Amino acid sequence: MRRAHTVEQVRAAEAELMARLPEGTLMQRAATGLAVALGNFLGRVYGARVVLLVGSGDNGGDALYAGEKLARRGAQVVAVLLSDKVHTAGLAALRQAGGRIGGTEEIATADVVVDGIVGIGGRPGLKPQALTAVRLAEQYAVPVVAVDIPSGVDVDTGETPDEHVRAALTVTFGTHKICHFVDPAATACGPVHLVDIGLELPAAPVEALQAADVRARYPVPRGESDKYSRGVLGLMAGSAQYPGAAVIATGGALGGPLGMMRYVGPEAVGEAVRTAHAEIVVGEGRVQAWAIGSGLGDELDVARVRDLLDDEEPVLLDADGLKALDDSGDHVNVLITPHAGELARLLQVDRATVEAERLTHARLAADRYDVTVLLKGSTTVIAAPDGRVRVNTNATPWLATAGSGDVLAGLCGSLLAAGLDPFDAAAVGAHLHAAAARLSATGGPTTAIAIARALPAATRQLLDEEN
């Protein structure tokens, strides 16, 4: 499990640790980790041209001490001071090691720029002098390695309301921060390298499942299992206008752990589903969970769906099914899987606002409707009504293809039917959906059908990793 903590949590943990350590120890740990990461990033140290963008906080101190360590190993290190109040001891150490102070013109010929402008205490946006330096790095295509976070992003929300650093690598300390997981800031971070500095931290408000976590939660059938105990999913999807949505969602469901699936919908669509998937039962019957909405169009039966929301079986609402959701009643057994536009309609805001503030709006919808929200996107945000958040970060851009959301709805519905609660079903489903997309997109584009077909192989690969 990867965990991301808030600024307040990190500050408290740092203060507690610093009270027990000799002065400067924590900064030296961070600087050593940063210097090693920079050396690995560059592929060499001796002769490398390194420009440090140094602000007034401890981030600037980390950069200066890392620069000192690189200078002692033969790097040409230049510090561009962006404040009158930089870390005095760090600057002295850099100079003693052979580093020097320079201007922003040094950026043009640098091999790497180190972003030590502001740390986790900074606010979104950059001051003019810092902005000039960052723009020069972009102009000359010099890669930027961010210290802890890319300067200018909102650390606790992942929002980027103003111009900010776009890093080729971010080196962070002690724990991940929320901006490392949540877009749009997560994209600005690039790959994130975590340096352990010994912090003791409380429970994290944001998590990201890794393969072992998904494996531990996956409902593997046992010797005594039968098709009913493995889970029966009811699917309401597809319409005369969008029959393919039902076929695709069924493929996603069959790629999950369920034992049986019932399709409930128009007869012609049912025939299309049965033709593509002969094992499907078409018609009403007992189910352990419902997946509703993909491609329903105008054929959505709002009254029927609302009755199902009040029953004990968990329900997944996707696409057109979201129109049946209201903010009354207890919906804690409900999972919704909107994209940004659909969530914007639910919350009556602009799509651009949701895209810019993904975590904020996923949490808002979870609280307002008392549901678990899976907000689809490059980093999928999953918010539970009790405040828990998970983020899925293993997606590929090839996943952005028509029908992939139908596959995800079917898969998550299958996991609900197999017994996972909405929060785990969403997180496990998002991870496997992305893994299948990566598998199916090896070497090029993929399609929704190909993703669905890759789900068994992706799941088998995940489960086999334990052996």
DSSP state of 123: P
HSE-up of residue 260 (Cα within 13 Å, Cβ side):
16
**Terminus-to-terminus CA distance in the chain, angstroms?**
19
At 416 the pLDDT is: 98
- Decide if 183 contacts 393 (C-beta within 8 A): no
Which residues, in sequence order, are CB contacts of 43 under 8 Å at separation 6+? none
How far CA 432 is from CA of 214, 303, 438, 458, in Å, comes to 8, 33, 10, 7
DSSP state of 323: G
Q: Average the pLDDT over 339-357 and give the result.
A: 97
pLDDT tens-digit series, residues 22-43: 999 999 999 999 999 999 999 9
Structure tokens at 266: 């128009």
At 200 the pLDDT is: 97
pLDDT above 90 for 327: no
Please give the share of the chain, as a percent, with pLDDT higher than 90.
94
Structure tokens at 151: 């300067």
How far CA 311 is from CA of 293, 301, 307, 323, 430, in Å, comes to 17, 16, 7, 18, 25
pLDDT above 60 for 467: no
The CATH architecture one would assign to domain 2-208 is: 3-Layer(aba) Sandwich (3.40)
Q: Which residue has the tokens 């992305």?
A: 434
HSE-up of residue 308 (Cα within 13 Å, Cβ side):
26
Distance CA 167, CA 155 (A): 15
Query: CA nearest 184: which of 171, 165, 206?
Result: 165
Distance CA 370, CA 327 (A): 7
Structure tokens at 319: 């696409």
Q: Average the pLDDT over 452-461 and give the result.
A: 97
Q: Average the pLDDT over 324-328 and give the result.
A: 87
pLDDT band at 460 (very low <50, low <70, confident <90, very high): very high
Where is the binding site for AMP, in residues? 376-380, 405
Where is the binding site for (6S)-NADPHX, in residues? 58-62, 119-125, 148, 245, 295, 339, 406
Q: Whole-model pTM?
A: 0.94
At 332 the pLDDT is: 85
Distance CA 362, CA 332 (A): 15
Residue 183, phi then psi, degrees to nearest 5: -75, 155
- Decide if 224 contacts 420 (C-beta within 8 A): no
Q: Which residue has the tokens 């995800």?
A: 408
Distance CA 7, CA 371 (A): 27
pLDDT above 60 for 204: yes
The CATH architecture one would assign to domain 211-464 is: 3-Layer(aba) Sandwich (3.40)
pLDDT above 90 for 13: yes
pLDDT tens-digit series, residues 251-302: 999 999 999 999 999 999 999 999 999 999 999 999 999 999 999 999 999 9
Sheet strand arrangement including 49-54: 100-101, 76-81, 49-54, 112-116, 144-147, 169-173, 192-195
At 26 the pLDDT is: 96
pLDDT above 60 for 424: yes
Q: Average the pLDDT over 118-130 and give the result.
A: 95
pLDDT above 70 for 394: yes
Q: How does the average pLDDT of the chain come out, rounded? A: 96
Distance CA 123, CA 265 (A): 51
Q: Average the pLDDT over 178-193 and give the result.
A: 97
pLDDT tens-digit series, residues 224-254: 888 989 999 999 999 999 999 999 999 999 9
- Please name the helix (run of DSSP H) or strand (run of DSSP E) that holds residue 253, with its range, or none: helix 243-254
Neighbours of 19 (CB within 10 A): 7
Burial level of 88, CB count in 10 A (0-12/13-18/19+)? exposed
At 372 the pLDDT is: 98
pLDDT above 80 for 410: yes
Q: Average the pLDDT over 171-191 and give the result.
A: 97
Query: CA nearest 51: which of 169, 133, 132?
Result: 133
Where is the binding site, in residues? 58-62, 115, 119-125, 148, 151, 245, 295, 339, 376-380, 405-406
pLDDT tens-digit series, residues 131-158: 999 999 999 999 999 999 999 999 999 9
β-pair partners for 78: 51, 100
Where is the binding site for K(+), in residues? 59, 115, 151
Max CA-CA distance within the chain?
A: 80
Structure tokens at 376: 């689809």
Annotated domain spans of the chain: 2-208, 211-464
